[in-house]
Chain A
Amino acid sequence: MKKKDLSLISSSFIILGLLLIPTISVSAQQPTPSDDQVNAIARQLYCPVCENTPLDVCPTTACHQWRELIRQMLAEGKSEAEIKQYFVDYYGASVLSEPPASGINWLVYIVPPVAFLVGVFLLFQAFRTWKKAAKEPMTGSASSLIHGTDPASGSAPDDPYISRLEEELKKRK
């Protein structure tokens, strides 16, 4: 009985082993990358021939070739960074959807925030100046212009427009 059990166990191990062989050999192969995997990289690249068209949606023969190249490189086990670097080396940095932060490209990253900060600073300065001006006591001529008096005589001028304006202001009070 024991012998029978042993042979049964050993034969089941052999069968299990035989069943595993094809599984192992299949997993050692690189599966063909799907369109989604290819497009995940392709959408980060731009067609070098037709400007402003991402590689994943570009319909030209050249773009089809490039997508196939990405598929081939993925199947070879290349990483996303390696594939992107290959494209940059081969076709130039302009294929990247985001320019690399080097050389003159730095301007793309530096100019907008700097311009924004300068704008904020200028607005702050301007508001501060206006606030200061509003707080300062009015000078004779400015006050007279607003209150409608002649700075020299102190009497109200015979301007019907100013008189009407003052009446309107009184009504609103």
Chain B
Amino acid sequence: MSQEPGIASAPKRGVPIWIQIIIWLGLLGLLGILAAGLLKARHPILSVGSPVPDFTLTLFSGYEYHNASQVRLSDLRGQVIVVNFWASWCQPCAGEAPDVEAAWNSYAKSGKVIFLGVDYLDTEPAARTYLTEFNISYPNGPDMGRRISQIFNSNLGVPETYIIDQRGVLQFAQIGPFQSSAEIQAILDPLLAGE
């Protein structure tokens, strides 16, 4: 068969195949990272009913848990855990602080509930002033490097409170402040009754 007149055999041109593969793989990798970021942004809050990943809270001196300067979530299994995120610069946090402290005082002696205050994006001197001002007595510590808030909500805004049952499963998420200590008790009592 003779070649068609005017059509020369095309020489091999363009980008070598291995470079094309690398470019496509690179682009796919970047798209993968973007997709992961978008998925995380769409579902920022840990769902109620999910087991809460373990974390360790380093506590302010004077606000230790049984004289320990750190408390690990997995060590608190068997208790209902109230994780309250707050900051000294947050006005709604100041509004709910007396109610949270009152709720803590009503369960402190039972040993069945533990409150953990997590100071979010704050400075220690301001945080200490706040803790003293509201006579807060439950264990409190800073969210170092935002590692704890990222577990619960990647777009956290204070105040937020998360209640974890005796098995380490998230049972309630309060976005915004509580209006009274009775509101907190109304959530905790059924959890304690169903243990």
Decide if A and B are genuine partners: yes
Using a CB–CB cutoff of 8 Å, the interface residues on chain A facing chain B are: 48-49, 60-62, 65-66, 68-69, 72, 88-93, 104, 107, 111, 114, 118, 121-122, 125, 129, 132, 139-142, 144, 151
Q: Closest A-chain residue to B91, C-beta based?
A: A61
Q: Is B145 touching A62 in the complex (CB atoms < 8 A)?
A: no
Q: How far is the CA of A38 from the CA of B72 in the complex (A)?
A: 36
Picked from A60, A88, A91, A118, the residue with its CB within 8 Å of the CB of B89 is: A60
Given contacts A62-B89, A69-B123, A132-B13, 9 further A-B pairs with CB under 8 A are A48-B121, A60-B89, A65-B89, A65-B123, A66-B123, A89-B145, A90-B145, A93-B145, A118-B19
Q: Are B6 and A91 in contact (CB under 8 A)?
A: no
B68 contacts chain A at the CB level, 8 A cutoff: no
The contact of B7 among A48, A88, A118, A139, by CB within 8 Å, is A139
A141 in contact with B145 (CB, 8 Å): no
How close is B118's CB to chain A, nearest CB, in angstroms?
13
Cross-chain contact A49 with B15 (CB below 8 angstroms): no
**Which residue of B is nearest A66, CB measured?**
B123
The 8 A-B pairs of least Cβ separation, nearest first, read: A141-B6, A140-B6, A62-B89, A61-B89, A139-B6, A92-B146, A92-B145, A48-B121
Q: In this assembly, does B190 line the interface, its C-beta being within 8 Å of a C-beta of chain A?
A: no
Please determine whether A107 and B33 come into contact, CB atoms closer than 8 angstroms. Answer: yes
Residue from the list A61, A62, A89, A132 in contact with B144, Cβ < 8 A: A89
A73 to B135, CA, bound (A): 27
> B15: which A residues are within 8 A, CB to CB?
121-122, 125
Q: B-side interface residues toward A, CB under 8 Å?
A: 5-8, 11, 13-15, 19, 23, 26, 30, 33, 87-89, 121-123, 125-126, 142, 144-146
CA distance A60 to B14 in the complex (A): 56
Q: Which residues of A contact B5 (CB under 8 A)?
A: 140-141, 151
Residues of B within 8 A of A65 (CB): 88-89, 122-123, 126
Interchain pairs with CB closer than 8 A, number:
60
Distance (whole angstroms) from the CB of A109 to the closest CB of chain B: 14
7 pairs across A/B with beta carbons < 8 Å?
A61-B89, A62-B87, A88-B145, A114-B26, A118-B23, A132-B11, A139-B8
Chain A residues whose CB sits within 8 angstroms of the CB of B14 once the complex forms = 125, 129
B121 and A49 contact, CB distance less than 8 A: yes
Measured between alpha carbons, how far is A144 from B7 in the docked complex, in Å? 13
Shortest C-beta distance, A151 to chain B (Å), equals 6
Q: Which of B7, B26, B121, B126 contacts A91 (CB 8 A)?
A: B121
CB <8 Å contact, A151 and B6: yes
Q: A65-B89, A151-B5 are in contact. Are A91 and B125 (CB under 8 A)?
A: no
Q: How far is the CB of A137 from chain B (nearest CB, A)?
A: 9
Least CB distance, B146 to chain A, in whole angstroms: 5
A65 to B125, CA, bound (A): 9
CB-based contact B6/A142 at 8 Å:
yes
| Chain A neighbourhood of B19, CB < 8 A | 118, 121
What is the chain B residue whose CB lies nearest that of A142? B6
A62 to B91, CA, bound (A): 11
In the complex, the answer to whether B87 meets A104 with C-beta atoms within 8 Å is: no
Task: Check B125–A104 contact: CB distance below 8 A.
Answer: no
Min distance, Cβ A120 to any Cβ of chain B, angstroms: 12
Contact A62 B121 (CB under 8 A): yes
- Cα A17 to Cα B102 in complex, Å, equals 62
Say whether, besides A65-B123, A90-B145, A111 and B89 are in contact (CB < 8 Å).
no
Question: Within the complex, what minimum Cβ distance (angstroms) separates B131 from chain A?
Answer: 15
